[in-house]
Amino acid sequence: MAEDGPTPLERFLRGILPENPVYRQLLGMCPTLAVTNGMREAMTMAGAVTFVLLCANILISLIRHLLKPHLRILVFTLTIAAFVTIADRFLAAFLPEMSQKLGPYVPLIIVNCIIICRCEVCASKQSLPTAVADAVGQSIGFALALASIATVREVLGSGSWFGLELLPESIWPRWGIMLLPPGAFLTLGLLLGGANRLSSWRSAKRAPQTSQG
């Protein structure tokens, strides 16, 4: 049975860059700003969001024909909350120090707009393979966005990456502000500006080709 909307491959590719949740859709700003002071924290958060997004998309896609329009948001929230609780307990059991560091940001995935957005835009309307491809693509896009911000902040703020020292203190004086909230806003703003510049440059490059064709 043919279905409307993008194919699984399109969904997957769009999530990584053209519809990147952070740089193009400006979703999931809370974890983007809060847990990107180190790569370890950022990647743990990306892993937790991937788990929740994948599970929620799979389940919502499977039950999409049973959803009542006026109850769909309730079903999305219920589903997301259940998977977030599972992710939270897993972290508390197997990565207790990381769970302590991330604190309330793991339960806050429940209100992460990326997940509810993907349930609404894709999973509740399209088949299982498309929903899975969408979840994987968006998760990779989210992980790349967190990694880019965390890399800048950790390298400039601590001189390290994933906790491994890259720049000794004798070479690089630590910019402590990069580990604090102002550093998160500055980095996000600059990288967002860079992403917009790149996007407009690519559009401008493509425009003459289109007019020629």
Partner 1 sequence: MKNSYIGQAWLVLALSVSFGAALAGVETWLRPTIEANKLAATIRWIPRIVPGADARRSARAAPIVVTVGTGRNETPYDVFRALDYQGGQIGWVVRASGKGFADKIEVLIGLDARAETITGLSILDQKETPGLGNKIEKMGDKKHKGFLWQFRYHHPRAGRPLVVTTASPRKGEAGGANKIRAVAGATISSKSVCSIINEALSRPLREKLIAALATTTRKGPRRD
Binding site for partner 1 (CB under 8 A): 34, 63, 66-68, 71, 74-75, 78-79, 81-82, 85-86, 89-90, 92-94, 96, 100, 103-105, 107, 181
Write down the least CB distance from residue 107 to partner 1, Å: 6
For 104, residues 6+ apart whose C-beta sits below 8 A from its C-beta are none
Write down the least CB distance from residue 83 to partner 1, Å: 9
Specify the residue, 140 or 146, whose C-beta has the smaller distance to partner 1: 146
Specify the residue, 68 or 205, whose C-beta has the smaller distance to partner 1: 68
Specify the residue, 140 or 178, whose C-beta has the smaller distance to partner 1: 178
Write down the least CB distance from residue 213 to partner 1, Å: 49
H helix intervals, the chain:
8-16, 29-34, 39-62, 72-94, 96-102, 113-118, 128-158, 181-212
Residue 67 main-chain phi, psi, to 5 deg: -70, 135
For 97, residues 6+ apart whose C-beta sits below 8 A from its C-beta are none
For 147, residues 6+ apart whose C-beta sits below 8 A from its C-beta are 39, 42, 43, 46
- As a whole number of Å, the CA-based R_g of the chain is 19
Specify the residue, 1 or 93, whose C-beta has the smaller distance to partner 1: 93
Helices 128-158 and 181-212: crossing angle in degrees, nearest 10, is 130
Specify the residue, 17 or 86, whose C-beta has the smaller distance to partner 1: 86
Write down the least CB distance from residue 22 to partner 1, Å: 19
Q: How far is Cα 27 from Cα 117, in angstroms, rounded to an integer? A: 9
Specify the residue, 29 or 167, whose C-beta has the smaller distance to partner 1: 29
Write down the least CB distance from residue 59 to partner 1, Å: 9
Write down the least CB distance from residue 91 to partner 1, Å: 10
